[in-house]
Amino acid sequence: MTEKALPRHVAIIMDGNGRWAKKHRIKIALGHRRGVETLRDIIRESSDIGIEVLTLYAFSTENWSRSPEEVEALMGLLLEFFISEIDELDEKNVCIRILGEKSALPLPQQEALMKAENRTKENTGLQLNIAINYGSRPEIIRAVKTIAEKVRQGKLDIDRIDESTMSEALYTAGQPDVDLLIRTSGEQRLSNFLLWQCAYAEFTFPTVLWPDFTLKEYHAALDDYMHRDRRFGGRKE
Ligand code: IPE
Ligand code: IPE
Ligand code: MG
């Protein structure tokens, strides 16, 4: 059998922290804390094995509807993560990009995110996208507005709008589409994540909860992907 390539772009919906906490009869915030440990391992591994783009769903535009305590805990962990990890990520040549609307976040978080992006913007290793206050529909609306504004200013001809115009107006501009989408915890839905970018993605839904998602499981998902037959609408003899 021919050796198949690793996915260029892996996207992960890190789901199941709440259920993990419940299962262990501990506070939800501690479930999220354990989730951050998994995230750290997955980022390191992705960088080590040469994944080109890794996109992690950390906080959706819908997650604001959770209790103020939980939202606060998540925001706290976010800040902690960026402060504690930035040196190592920068050292590993990781380029950080935030997907989502930062302006709705608390100021210290906004600052930490912008700092991380600025500090790592020239890095040429793993492109790490972290989706925070992200929703795919708001992303698409934002892109449409950007495109419409260019048309209004006479900088873009309507007839020249094509798929690449749209791709380049999204947060993921310049990056390849998602090849493999992983959602842990057994849920099988997109929850407003990367609708445009996942047009031809392969999906895998490991039942394990995110804090229990190990490198072994990650490799199983990658391996599964490498055995898929991607046809993109065509036919292979
Ligand atoms: C995913 O875990 C993390 C975030 C949404 C931030 P959940 O908190 O959604 O975990 P479950 O789905 O309640 O188990
Ligand atoms: C999606 O998970 C968002 C993140 C993992 C950040 P949710 O747990 O919020 O999604 P639903 O509500 O189950 O669809
Ligand atoms: Mg969930």
pLDDT digit string (tens) for the chain, length 237 residues? 456 899 999 999 999 999 999 999 999 999 999 999 999 999 999 999 999 999 999 999 999 999 999 999 999 999 999 999 999 999 999 999 999 999 999 999 999 999 999 999 999 999 999 999 999 999 999 999 999 999 999 999 999 999 999 999 999 999 999 999 999 999 999 999 999 999 999 999 999 999 999 999 999 999 999 999 999 999 876
pLDDT of residue 174: 98
Q: Which atom of ligand 1 is nearest to 13's Cα?
A: 1
Identify the three-state secondary structure at position 86. Answer: helix
- CB of 14 closer than 6 angstroms to any ligand 1 atom: yes
Q: Ligand 2 centre from 187 Cα, in Å?
A: 9
Q: How far apart are CA 175 and CA 164, in angstroms?
A: 11
pLDDT of residue 177: 98
Nearest partner of 70 among 21, 1, 114, 109, judged by Cα: 21
DSSP 49: H
- CB of 15 closer than 6 angstroms to any ligand 1 atom: yes
- Helix (H), strand (E), coil (C) string for 166-235: HHHHCCCCCCCCCCEEEECCCCCCCCCCCCCCCCCCEEECCCCCHHHCCHHHHHHHHHHHHCCCCCCCCC
Q: Ligand 1 centre from 237 Cα, in Å?
A: 43
Ligand that comes closest to the CA of residue 13: 2
Ligand that comes closest to the CA of residue 22: 1
Q: Is the four-CA dihedral 88, 86, 195, 33 of positive or negative sign? A: positive
User: Domain 3-135+177-226: what homologous superfamily?
Assistant: Decaprenyl diphosphate synthase-like (3.40.1180.10)
pLDDT of residue 3: 63
Q: Which atom of ligand 1 is nearest to 19's Cα?
A: 14
Q: Which residues contact 156 (CB under 8 A, 6 or more apart)?
A: 147, 150, 165
DSSP 8: S
Nearest CA to ligand 2 atom 10: 191
- The ranges assigned to domains in the chain are 3-135+177-226
Pocket around ligand 2 at a 6 A CB cut-off: 13-15, 57-60, 63, 187, 189, 191
Q: Ligand 3 centre from 119 Cα, in Å?
A: 31
Q: Which residues contact 165 (CB under 8 A, 6 or more apart)?
A: 147, 156
Helix (H), strand (E) at residue 56: strand 53-60
Bridge partners of 59? 132
- The two tokens of residue 111 are 């600052």
Q: Ligand 2 centre from 81 Cα, in Å?
A: 20
pTM, to two decimals: 0.97
Q: Which atom of ligand 2 is nearest to 131's Cα?
A: 6
As annotated, the active-site residues are 15, 63
